[in-house]
Amino acid sequence: MSFFKFSSYFRAPAPVKYAAIAILSVASMAASAQSIVMASTTSTEQSGLFSVLIPAFKQASGIDVKVVALGTGQALDTGRRGDADVLFVHDQKAEEKFVAEGFGVKRFPVMYNDFVLVGPKTDPLKLKGNDITDAFKKIAAGNGSFVSRGDKSGTNAAELRFWAAADLTGKQGSGYKACGCGMGPALNIAASSNAYVMTDRGTWLNFKNRADLTVLVEGDKRLFNQYGVMVVNPAKHPHVKVAEAQKFVDWVTSAAGQGTIAGYKIGGEQLFFPNADK
């Protein structure tokens, strides 16, 4: 805008000037509406998946996504408070409870991978195999060094289920330590202390600071790790951007979104497997 036009604008009659300001304000509000807040797990972020998924969604929809990466339990609490528009998490039982309590509109399956137990290559407690409860029994009996996330995340919830299945709740041994931290920090602690730790495979494949750690237990069908997505219920929180959030749900469960998930690989290895149609 030239100085002449700029000056003329401010000499314009008040109704014209205020109408122009109102139009600019509406346009600004419309632009800000084209964004959503997604509370998700640390595994989806630290695996690197969102570095390809979010840009692909924005290109398809024009909607920005601000990701708040937390443990699943914390992400669900964020949704309960109305501090997110959509949730992308991995604790199906807790997700179904969230919907049943009226905090979520509907839960949709999106993708899956699996959990693995990693530990030192020397494997002092001889855990290597495909039975997670048998491995946990050996850890408890040998007072093995084990790093638990202890953060109410989906990974932590699964880990606690396996201790319970082994009848070892509260009896994990003197080497059991809860860090109250995300998956990346828990892996770093395990790597620096040669400890055992359970992780989702996606974060493990993207983890660079492995030191002497390697995968020891995998292949147990109980290690299946399902992810779901939900729009936060506007009946609880009217400010939720339902239309934009639903566009994300529709896209990530569509052929385009599912293809983007399937195409994300590290070293030629696929990290997540789409199953929205299941």
| CATH number (domain holding residue 182) | 3.40.190.10
Distance CA 32, CA 56 (A): 19
> How much is the pLDDT for 10?
37
Q: Which of 142, 150, 10 is nearest to 74 (CA)?
A: 150
- Same domain assignment for residues 121 and 219: yes
Phi, psi of 156 (to 5 degrees): -65, -40
pLDDT average, residue stretch 87-101: 97
Please say which residue of 181, 197, 223 terminates a domain. Answer: 223
Total-model pTM: 0.84
**Range with the poorest average pLDDT among 43-47, 107-111, 195-199, 257-261:** 43-47
Q: Helices 255-263 and 50-61 sit at what angle, rounded to 10 degrees?
A: 150
* pLDDT at 152 > cutoff 60: yes
Q: Which residues contact residue 79 at a Cβ distance below 8 angstroms, ignoring those fewer than 6 apart? A: 39, 87, 98, 103, 104, 230, 232
* pLDDT at 75 > cutoff 70: yes
Express as a percent the part of the chain with pLDDT over 70.
88
Please say which residue of 223, 245, 264 terminates a domain. Answer: 223
- Same domain assignment for residues 206 and 148: yes
- Same domain assignment for residues 178 and 137: yes
**Residue 13, domain member (yes or no):** no
pLDDT average, residue stretch 268-278: 92
- If you write DSSP's letter for every residue of 200-215 in order, what string do you get? EHHHHHH----TTEEE
- Same domain assignment for residues 196 and 139: yes
**Residue 77, domain member (yes or no):** yes
Q: How many domains does the chain have?
A: 2
Q: Which of 48, 81, 41 is nearest to 232 (CA)?
A: 81
Distance CA 118, CA 70 (A): 22
**Residue 168, domain member (yes or no):** yes
**Residue 22, domain member (yes or no):** no
**Residue 15, domain member (yes or no):** no
**Residue 4, domain member (yes or no):** no
- Same domain assignment for residues 59 and 91: yes
- Same domain assignment for residues 265 and 210: no
Q: Tell me the per-residue pLDDT of 39-66, one tens digit each, with 9 for 90 and over.
A: 999 889 889 999 999 999 999 999 999 9
∠ Cα 211 89 48 (to 5°): 40
- Same domain assignment for residues 258 and 233: yes
Please say which residue of 205, 223, 241 terminates a domain. Answer: 223
- Same domain assignment for residues 178 and 234: no
- Same domain assignment for residues 208 and 233: no
- Same domain assignment for residues 137 and 77: no
- Same domain assignment for residues 57 and 103: yes
> How much is the pLDDT for 15?
46
> How much is the pLDDT for 49?
96
* Conformational region of residue 48, where left means phi above 0, alpha means psi within -120 to 50, and beta covers everything else: left
**Residue 215, domain member (yes or no):** yes
- Same domain assignment for residues 108 and 119: no
> How much is the pLDDT for 278?
62
Distance CA 139, CA 127 (A): 8
**Residue 10, domain member (yes or no):** no
Domain range enclosing 160:
114-223
